[in-house]
Structure 1
């Protein structure tokens, strides 16, 4: 699965077991957590003048956003929402690059706030409610279901 490969960008070996049994919904939450933590670390390193560590943390956050969250988007099924999220993830990456170049913690804070808002929205999604037509038993198909598909 592409998400599992992308979670390698998350970079923590102790997560291997959790990743191997996590649902796709949970994997996305883990990616958000990883990117938020990397932003926190980047900000702390920036404040402490640890330039190399700041750069590694920012690179890690960008990697999670680009190789994890962006890769997980299904632009065919997700339509306009997926396209908009893709653009937002691209924007976040650019902001983090600028934060690194200009030592600007406000840009890290901006990205962190965006990630936190998206994570909160993702947490509101109940994967059990994401039923597709193919998952509904034949006898229950009297009324077509349109929710659950982006």
Structure 2
């Protein structure tokens, strides 16, 4: 009986390890997020958080705190119609305005974050040219 219980524990542990290995090597890994760090998405130039414009750093901090935001559209679903960011299901990406001091409207600068929980994003991207290009934000 004790031998059978030990074998069951071993099998369960093995299944968990294999499941974790699969998750980290599959395309589904983009949906996984370690709480202490965001994922690095291959193919994107990185931009350090400190290198963002001052208003970008402010917006990023507000994203992690859940607000307040400068625009009613902040936190709305980003459709990724440009297909530049990795493909995900609708609702995965959300966009936020990075204030542009001389702009009379929202301007061209945005931060787009992906993840199941807006305040705990898997990855965030900065665009200074209204979605023509993206850099991954590295905190």
Which entry has the higher C-alpha Rg, 1 or 2?
2
TM-score in terms of structure 2 length:
0.25
Q: Larger % of strand: which?
A: 2
TM-score in terms of structure 1 length:
0.24
Q: Larger % of helix: which?
A: 1
